[in-house]
Amino acid sequence: MNITKFYINGTFVNPDGSEKINIVNPATEDVVGSVISGSTNDVNNAIASANKAFPDASALTISQKKKILEEIIEEMEERREDFAQIISEEMGSPIKMARRGQYGSGVIHFKNTLSVIDKFNFQEVHDNITINKLPIGPVGMITPWNWPLNQMCTKVASAIAAGTSFVLKPSEITPGAAHIFAEVVDKTSMPKGMFNLIHGFGNTVGKSMSSHPDLEMISFTGSTRAGIDIQKSAADNIKRVSLELGGKSPNIILEDVDLENAVKMGIKQCFLNTGQSCSSPTRMLLPGNMLKEATEYAVAAANSMSIGDPLNEDIYLGPISNKTQYEKVQDLIQKGIDEGATLACGGIGRPDGLDKGFFVKPTVFTDVDNKMTIAQEEIFGPVICLIPYSNIEEAIKIANDSAYGLSSMISCSDEEKAKTIAKRIRTGQVILNRISRGDYPAPFGGFKMSGNGREHGRLGLIECLETKAIIGH
């Protein structure tokens, strides 16, 4: 897909910027399209459009907001295969995953927001005090390459429900889904200028957005490094910053579970989306006396995963989305070997039979010390660390010994014990005795270096609202 237009003020327009960014299929390493990188003028025009539209957006009634959400759902369902194909082409998502996971998670945010908005109380009265929840003002949204539709949709759905206008900048690596979404929006009753789409690099277009005085909020999903830069850029304007950043999620497995099932479940969740999810449970914590057996199950599970052409319906693991990330994953695998972790399977280089594309061998490290680089840094590929512990107190200590705090898993047959442990894990989510199913009404976000905001459902809506107190009668 060659993207030559931006979507500003309800129409597709020629951008002021002219720099062309090539889009590379990570499975073939072929250039399959391009996108124009915007200029400062493009950022200014998009933000001006959002500000002009804000009065109309903020005046939308509940029924009007619901109509827009319903129209988006209907149009998205018409474009389901278009979304899946472009995501598979641009980021290498296996086509079955692109349809069910990538597209499915995107559209469900709008469906979930429909149910939230019906129950949400935008006004509360306490004695002589009226508390109003009002749209915050124009929002800048910057979204990542690994879940290009999902992360866009959760932000957009909440903004529509709040009644605020916004400017979206998707990743320049995977811009196609956002362009198709703009075509979806163009067919709805959304006020002109409420939704604006521009493209470009994070360090230029993204930085210009985060420092712009006419945006009231920045909602960003991506790396912790970029999140820090955005927060610094936004500081001069005292704008609200909502950050969903990296993770190094622990998966605590206790002795009282079916070990084979728990390990297989953990591997499947970790390697979902080819390991390119910030919430992936990349640290599997196990009783030391079960480590050898668990390693055998982990290797078997990893080696059973099909890897190759993303358009093959039977493939579970596709390529890493881009060359830079591929090289990072390779470097970290090598560092794990160099620092003394035991390589149980996988390792550096491409899987057998694949001589091109950014494919990574599904990799299991065992006998990992939590101080090792591979246990502390986000790898963002199909790589997992098996870490032994001697007792549950040590397991909790290891789980919390991380700069991150996004998600976690616990496998324990005693439900109450699992909940007690969960309360002590410093992460935004804890998933008990199953893999993640999206759980879209549940708030999503992290502790510590994993961010400071929440998305999904009711709390995602609240992120886009300001509180006003009216006192007296």
The residues assigned a catalytic role are 244, 278
Q: Which two tokens stand for residue 426?
A: 């410093």
Q: Other CB atoms closer than 10 Å to residue 397's CB: what's the count?
A: 13
Task: For CA atoms 208, 461, 442, 175, give the dihedral sign.
Answer: negative
Q: How far is CA 154 from CA 127, 143, 145, 172, in A?
A: 35, 10, 15, 19
Dist. CA 264–CA 168, nearest whole Å: 38
Report residue 37: phi and psi, to 5°. -85, 130
Tokens 């989305």 found at? 321
Q: Identity (one letter) of the amino acid at 175?
A: P
- For the CA atoms of 247, 320, 269, 463, what is the dihedral angle to 10 degrees? 40
E strand or H helix that includes residue 217: strand 217-221
| Main-chain dihedrals φ then ψ at residue 285, nearest 5 degrees | -100, 125
Contact yes or no for 148/35 (Cβ under 8 A)? no
> Taking the CA atoms of the chain, what radius of gyration do you get in angstroms?
22
Contact predicate 289/396, CB 8 Å: no
Give the residue from 431, 414, 426, 458 showing the smallest Cα distance to 257.
414
Cβ neighbours for 127, distance < 8 A, ≥ 6 positions apart? none
| 286 Cα distance to chain centroid | 27
Residues 6+ apart with CB under 8 A from 355: none
Residues making up the chain, counted from first to last: 473
Q: How far is CA 323 from CA 25, 244, 246, 319, 359, in A?
A: 10, 23, 19, 10, 10
Say how far apart CA 231 and CA 173 lie, in whole Å: 22
d(CA 258, CA 138): 50
- Strand spans (E) along 88-209: 123-126, 129-135, 139-142, 166-169, 195-197
